[in-house]
C-alpha cells in the first residue's frame, strides 16, 4: 500500500512594488513673470552699465566718438600709476582705523547699555545713541567741515579758549593731519551700524549664560573675552565684510571735505577714478580703474565670506 502524497503549495512570489506615481512639479510661472520687470530694470540700469564699463576698459573710450581698441594698454598704465596705488595705502589706514577705534567705542557703548538692569533705561539710551543716524551723511560731513574751519571752527576756538593756541591747526589743509581729520568724522562713532549689531547680539544672548559666568567667578573683562566676544564671531565677520566693501567704496566724505588733497594726502581710489574721468576726460582709463576696483572688491568679499566658513562660535572655558 503506497503512502498518500501530500502536495505542498509553493508560496506565491511577492508582487513587485508598484512605484508611486510621480507628481509633476508645478512651476510658479506667475512668480517668475512678476520678477521679469525687476530683472529688466536691473539689467538696464545695473548689469548693462557694469558690462559696458568692463568692455570699454580695453579701449580709448570717447563717448559719442570713435573709441579705438587698446587692449591691455589701460591696465599697463594703471600698473604704473603711483597715485592709484597711493590711494590704496590711504584705504589701508582707513580700514584699520574702522575695525579698531571705530568699532571699539560702539562695542563699549553696547556693553554698557546691556549692563543696565532697567529695561526703560536701556530703551532710552539705545534710542538716544542711534538717533543721530536719522541725519543725512552730507549734513554730518558739512558740520564737521565747519568744526575744522581754521579761523572760526569750534575745535580751534575751544583750544584757544583754554590757552592751547599752539595746538590750533588747519586740520584739513595740512597733509599731515588731513587724513586723520577725515577719520574722526562722526566721533565717537556710536550712532552707526556696528553699535546696532553689537547691541542686538548681546541682547540675544540668554541671561542664563551671563548668570553662569557670574557664578563661576568671572569678572566683567573675563566674561567679555570668554563669553561675549566668541558669541559675536558671526556678527564680527559680517561687519568685516561690510567694512571691506564700504572702505573700497569710500570717497563721499573726502570729496566734500578735501577733494583728495592737500597734496593727495586724502586720495582714495574712487576719487582717483572720478578725477581721471571728469577732469582728465580719460574715460577708457577710468573704466579700467573702476573694473579693477570691482574685481578687488569681489575677491576680498569672497575671501571674507569663505574664511573659516565651517567654524562655529562657542563659549570659551572660564
Q: How far apart are CA 54 and CA 61, in angstroms?
A: 11
Among the listed residues 157, 177, 178, the one whose alpha carbon sits nearest the alpha carbon of residue 168: 157
Q: How far apart are CA 274 and CA 189, in angstroms?
A: 28
> Residues 267, 94: contact at Cβ < 8 Å?
no
- Residue spans of beta strands (DSSP E) within 10-117: none
- Which DSSP state fits 175? T
Centroid of chain to Cα 135:
20
Report pLDDT for 130. 84
Is the bond into 181 cis (omega within 30 degrees of 0)?
no
Report pLDDT for 24. 64
Task: Give one word for 313, left, alpha or beta, with left for phi > 0 and alpha for psi -120 to 50.
Answer: beta
Report pLDDT for 291. 92
Beta bridge partners of 69: 59
Q: How far apart are CA 213 and CA 126, in angstroms?
A: 25
Q: Is 0.85 surpassed by the pTM of this model?
A: no
Count of Cβ atoms closer than 10 Å to residue 177 Cβ? 17
Which parts of the chain register pLDDT below 70?
A: 1-24, 27, 308-318
Count of Cβ atoms closer than 10 Å to residue 259 Cβ? 14
> Residues 193, 162: contact at Cβ < 8 Å?
no
Which residue in this structure is represented by grid cell 571691506?
244
pLDDT tens, 152-196?
889 989 988 888 888 888 888 888 899 999 999 888 888 788 888
> Residues 235, 220: contact at Cβ < 8 Å?
no
**What are phi and psi for residue 122, nearest 5 degrees?**
-60, -45
Report pLDDT for 1. 46
**What are phi and psi for residue 191, nearest 5 degrees?**
-75, 80
**Grid cell for residue 307:** 574664511
pLDDT tens, 41-78?
998 888 888 888 889 889 888 887 888 888 898 999 99
Q: How far apart are CA 88 and CA 208, in angstroms?
A: 46
Cα→Cα distances 109→4, 185, 200, Å: 100, 18, 12
Among the listed residues 189, 39, 217, the one whose alpha carbon sits nearest the alpha carbon of residue 129: 189
Q: How far apart are CA 141 and CA 146, in angstroms?
A: 9
Coil vs helix vs strand at 68 = coil
Q: How far apart are CA 71 and CA 276, in angstroms?
A: 19
Q: What angle in degrees, to the nearest 10, is found between the helix axes of 154-161 and 137-147?
A: 40
Report pLDDT for 121. 87
Report pLDDT for 292. 92
Amino acid at each position: 500500500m503506497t503512502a498518500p502524497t501530500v502536495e505542498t503549495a509553493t508560496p506565491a512570489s511577492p508582487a513587485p512594488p508598484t512605484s508611486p506615481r510621480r507628481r509633476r512639479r508645478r512651476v510658479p510661472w506667475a512668480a517668475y513673470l512678476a520678477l521679469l520687470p525687476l530683472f529688466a530694470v536691473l539689467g538696464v540700469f545695473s548689469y548693462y552699465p557694469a558690462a559696458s564699463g568692463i568692455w570699454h576698459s580695453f579701449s580709448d573710450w570717447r563717448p559719442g566718438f570713435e573709441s579705438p581698441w587698446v587692449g591691455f594698454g589701460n591696465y599697463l598704465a594703471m600698473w604704473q600709476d603711483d597715485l592709484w596705488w597711493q590711494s590704496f595705502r590711504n584705504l589701508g589706514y582707513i580700514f584699520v582705523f574702522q575695525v579698531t577705534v571705530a568699532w571699539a567705542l560702539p562695542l563699549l557703548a553696547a556693553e554698557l547699555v546691556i549692563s543696565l538692569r532697567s529695561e526703560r533705561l536701556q530703551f532710552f539710551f539705545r534710542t538716544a545713541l542711534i538717533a543721530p543716524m536719522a541725519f543725512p551723511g552730507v549734513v554730518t560731513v558739512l558740520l564737521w567741515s565747519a568744526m575744522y574751519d581754521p579761523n572760526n571752527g569750534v575745535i580751534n576756538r575751544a583750544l584757544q579758549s583754554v590757552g592751547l593756541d599752539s595746538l590750533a591747526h588747519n586740520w584739513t589743509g595740512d597733509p599731515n593731519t588731513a587724513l586723520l581729520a577725515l577719520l574722526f568724522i562722526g566721533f565717537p562713532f556710536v550712532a552707526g551700524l556696528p553699535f546696532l549689531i553689537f547691541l542686538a547680539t548681546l541682547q540675544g544672548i540668554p541671561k542664563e549664560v551671563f548668570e553662569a559666568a557670574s557664578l563661576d567667578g568671572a569678572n566683567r573683562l573675563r566674561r567679555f573675552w570668554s563669553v561675549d566676544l566668541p558669541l559675536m564671531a558671526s556678527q564680527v565677520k559680517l561687519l568685516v565684510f561690510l567694512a571691506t566693501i564700504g572702505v573700497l567704496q569710500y570717497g563721499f566724505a573726502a570729496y566734500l571735505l578735501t577733494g583728495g588733497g592737500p597734496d593727495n594726502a586724502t586720495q582714495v581710489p574712487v576719487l582717483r577714478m572720478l578725477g581721471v574721468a571728469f577732469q582728465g576726460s580719460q574715460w577708457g582709463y577710468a573704466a579700467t580703474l573702476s573694473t579693477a576696483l570691482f574685481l578687488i572688491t569681489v575677491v576680498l568679499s569672497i575671501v571674507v565670506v569663505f574664511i573659516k566658513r565651517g567654524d562655529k562660535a562657542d563659549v570659551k572655558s572660564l
